[in-house]
Structure 1
């Protein structure tokens, strides 16, 4: 697959520093004299960086120390292997000015035998642009911009302005016994990702008390825009049987987040005896368009697994997208909810021209599975021209309801279709509470019935 296919705590305010304005200087005017020509405008300096870590460190320090924007041109194909932190928990000098790193296919990585540190940190005064580079192997432990015990941004942590293009952020980790987020990237300022692969990153909570880990690939305290990118095989884990929450495996948005023309696949959240929730999760407004969300898993043995494709607590708009093959799994008597998309009690989801197909909510004997395609757990769902098909809620020996849609909120479906879904009851729709309104919407060929309980949904029978 090509790239084109694809806080809870916020550590500090992301105040920006304006770059010094450059003014044209005028010669003093005197009677009978002429005006001097203006001084030439300064241009961004380009600093070639040889294939060595000391050269890269020196180049960043030089760029930070001089006014104006600077470009660092890395050695083509070089691997810059960091063996020690430059400062605190960062492998390279903190970016505090306007720096562009043109990677030329280079990799900046932490040596596997090195102490734990992230690769890059952007301060609130910094602007960092990364082009055509790989950031890998970073490990953040209990250091998130001076917040004791919190860990964030194993690969990159930014309080400033971060732009990453045509690059990879892979195999980085944020781990903490207090709270961890942003295994690959933690963006607390303004972030833009374009044609970026974010893969193999992990956010992990290792403590003994109830807590959480979030954003295996990306955590955003935003705003953030992700375009034409590929988020895959990222993970979020929490300590077993602590009642902790693992969520936002690919991306969690605590501020305005936009995802478009991207692919999000094969990410996994695991919370034994806790809550595993949302490969794509919002805790603020999120807009998703022209994006494929497929084959992601949330697993909570003995706990609650919800929203393997996406989960929303806040306003979310999703258009022209596909949510398919995702799995919410809760063995050992757990509860599996909303395998495709989960709408929480405070959530407000608007779907347009979107397919929700082939998702599975599964529990074992004594467990509960509700909402194979979509689960509305007390929020608001508006679906326009949406196809909800071939989804399954399965709990042999347990309770399985709402193969296509499980509802306890307010759901309105316009010009949509709910077909060929399966559950023990309410193969198409199960209305446990709230209201479901169907406008020019077909509910048919679901097993064993279309809508349940009988008579709960006007115009829908059997």
Structure 2
């Protein structure tokens, strides 16, 4: 005699006896996925349709090469992630074929929860932005993955992904307006591009763009590029990471990224966007050898640029460059914008440069020129250089000005500012506003420690 499953409180009759049969519970399932794109698509569809969490175990070292977008979701190469799915890559790669149409690799819907481990996501090319498309048509985001739900990435790689738009592009590799975390992951060789011709466009976050709470831990963001169309007065920023919401970066290397904006604005490898309540916190690791390049334009920060709330501690900020031939270069290491509040504690800020041939170069180490608030405690600001052949170079260690309101403040506590160079104010140049020293060491800077002479109490020579 057969028995149809019923709620446990009712049971069913089996050979005249009342037997309790529990309702089948949702449980985790593990699906083995052969080295086949159809099998991977089928496994995601099965996982989306089943209750509970599912794990997809990919074939070790396989390359799942996507040759066409998913029919039901043409902006993406794979079905949308709509339930709780873990992808155990075991060293596998999911890549868009270079001859294929343009599409991102993965999209996490609002109901989705993606766990990605030991997977390489390669060659995605975004053509839309699911989170913003109903609000601002034309935005493109997340060349590798766009997350509007929940996402946890571990021990993975995002390589050679692109977001490109003629309106606004963000997140060359990863765009996360949902809740996300990235750990022990390499994000390298990705691109975000503004290709339009109108003024005021933007390209943000070549590696990662964040619009929701995000934590990045023990990862490497290297060799990513943000570019905009020449002479459009557009902005390329956050070639490593751009933060529009609460973001925490821990023990991460951010290096060799480039923001390029000829005739526009090139902003630092680590940036936050318009003033937001969310704070960008960077702790440990290094921000090094990044470049912001804006010929005939304005370069604003080579390493970090802050125009909201930012806290930076115990980070090595070295070898970064802000370059603007025939333009303005500010903040080789760190730049504070007019709405920025920045706390710097126990960092090493060394060997950064601002260079503006035939233009203006200010603040090779630290730059607070537009009315922001900077508090710097126990930092070492060493061997930074401001140069401007046939131009003006000021503030090798620090440049400060009050901005248009005159209310900008810089408070220094127990820092060492030494062996920096500039045309004037080799250590510190104060143009206006309020700047105070509290037990700081300012010495051995060239051609002088502080300028104009007598404007900074406690600083001489």
TM-score, normalising length: structure 1: 0.91
Q: CA offset at residue 230 of structure 1?
A: 0.2
Over the residues paired in the alignment, what is the CA RMSD in angstroms? 1.7
Aligned to 1:73: 57
CA deviation string 1:215-244 (max 9, x = no partner): 000000010000000000000000000100
Secondary structure of the corresponding residue to residue 184 of structure 2: strand
Aligned to 2:459: 460
Q: Report the Cα distance in structure 2 between the residues aligned to 1:144 and 1:27, rounded to whole angstroms.
A: 44
Kindly indicate whether the alpha-carbon contact (under 8 Å) linking 1:27 and 1:35 is maintained by their aligned counterparts in 2: no
The one of 354, 363, 372 aligned to 1:371? 363
Q: Report the Cα distance in structure 1 between the residues aligned to 2:455 and 2:346, rounded to whole angstroms.
A: 26
Secondary structure of the corresponding residue to residue 433 of structure 1: coil
Aligned to 2:350: 357
1:384 corresponds to 2:374:
no
Kindly indicate whether the alpha-carbon contact (under 8 Å) linking 1:142 and 1:175 is maintained by their aligned counterparts in 2: no
1:439 corresponds to 2:438:
yes
Q: Report the Cα distance in structure 1 between the residues aligned to 2:329 and 2:297, rounded to whole angstroms.
A: 8
1:178 corresponds to 2:167:
yes
Written as runs of structure 1 = structure 2, the 5 A alignment for 1:112-123 is 112-123=98-109
- 1:343–1:34 distance in 2 versus 1, CA, 3 Å: farther
Q: Report the Cα distance in structure 2 between the residues aligned to 1:123 and 1:175, rounded to whole angstroms.
A: 21
Greater RCO, CA 8 A, separation 6+? 1
Kindly indicate whether the alpha-carbon contact (under 8 Å) linking 2:75 and 2:128 is maintained by their aligned counterparts in 1: no
Aligned to 1:294: 288
Aligned to 1:348: 341
Q: Report the Cα distance in structure 1 between the residues aligned to 2:90 and 2:246, rounded to whole angstroms.
A: 31
Secondary structure of the corresponding residue to residue 236 of structure 1: strand
Kindly indicate whether the alpha-carbon contact (under 8 Å) linking 1:144 and 1:150 is maintained by their aligned counterparts in 2: no
1:191 corresponds to 2:184:
no
Aligned to 2:9: 27
Q: Report the Cα distance in structure 1 between the residues aligned to 2:449 and 2:180, rounded to whole angstroms.
A: 44
1:336 corresponds to 2:322:
no
Q: Report the Cα distance in structure 2 between the residues aligned to 1:142 and 1:120, rounded to whole angstroms.
A: 12
CA deviation string 1:340-393 (max 9, x = no partner): 00000110110111111100000102x000000010122111111111110011
Q: CA offset at residue 278 of structure 1?
A: 1.4
Q: Report the Cα distance in structure 2 between the residues aligned to 1:178 and 1:351, rounded to whole angstroms.
A: 34
Q: CA offset at residue 38 of structure 1?
A: 6.2
Q: CA offset at residue 397 of structure 1?
A: 1.2
Q: CA offset at residue 142 of structure 1?
A: 4.2
Q: Report the Cα distance in structure 1 between the residues aligned to 2:8 and 2:336, rounded to whole angstroms.
A: 62
1:249 corresponds to 2:239:
yes
Q: Report the Cα distance in structure 2 between the residues aligned to 1:460 and 1:397, rounded to whole angstroms.
A: 28
Secondary structure of the corresponding residue to residue 203 of structure 1: strand
1:140 corresponds to 2:126:
yes
Q: Report the Cα distance in structure 1 between the residues aligned to 2:127 and 2:35, rounded to whole angstroms.
A: 28
Q: CA offset at residue 144 of structure 1?
A: 3.9
Q: Report the Cα distance in structure 2 between the residues aligned to 1:355 and 1:34, rounded to whole angstroms.
A: 75
Q: CA offset at residue 35 of structure 1?
A: 11
Secondary structure of the corresponding residue to residue 185 of structure 2: strand
Aligned to 1:282: 272
Secondary structure of the corresponding residue to residue 242 of structure 1: coil
Q: Report the Cα distance in structure 2 between the residues aligned to 1:135 and 1:443, rounded to whole angstroms.
A: 48
Secondary structure of the corresponding residue to residue 155 of structure 2: strand
- 1:57–1:392 distance in 2 versus 1, CA, 3 Å: same
CA deviation string 1:302-338 (max 9, x = no partner): 000011100001110011111000000001x110000
1:407 corresponds to 2:400:
yes
Unmatched runs of 5 consecutive residues or more in structure 2: 1-6, 12-16, 402-407
Q: CA offset at residue 206 of structure 1?
A: 0.4
Count of aligned pairs: 434
The one of 297, 309, 318 aligned to 1:315? 309
The one of 197, 202, 219 aligned to 2:209? 219
The one of 158, 165, 186 aligned to 2:154? 165
Q: Report the Cα distance in structure 1 between the residues aligned to 2:344 and 2:20, rounded to whole angstroms.
A: 62
Q: Report the Cα distance in structure 2 between the residues aligned to 1:301 and 1:405, rounded to whole angstroms.
A: 23
Q: Report the Cα distance in structure 2 between the residues aligned to 1:98 and 1:166, rounded to whole angstroms.
A: 19
Q: Report the Cα distance in structure 2 between the residues aligned to 1:79 and 1:160, rounded to whole angstroms.
A: 26
The one of 384, 388, 405 aligned to 1:395? 388
Q: Report the Cα distance in structure 1 between the residues aligned to 2:347 and 2:195, rounded to whole angstroms.
A: 37
Q: Report the Cα distance in structure 2 between the residues aligned to 1:178 and 1:249, rounded to whole angstroms.
A: 18
Written as runs of structure 1 = structure 2, the 5 A alignment for 1:223-242 is 223-242=213-232
Secondary structure of the corresponding residue to residue 46 of structure 1: strand
CA deviation string 1:384-441 (max 9, x = no partner): 1111110011001110000000001311111111000000000000001111111110
Q: CA offset at residue 454 of structure 1?
A: 0.9
Q: Report the Cα distance in structure 2 between the residues aligned to 1:388 and 1:447, rounded to whole angstroms.
A: 14
Secondary structure of the corresponding residue to residue 230 of structure 2: coil
Secondary structure of the corresponding residue to residue 259 of structure 1: strand
CA deviation string 1:169-212 (max 9, x = no partner): 11000001111000000001001001010000000000001211
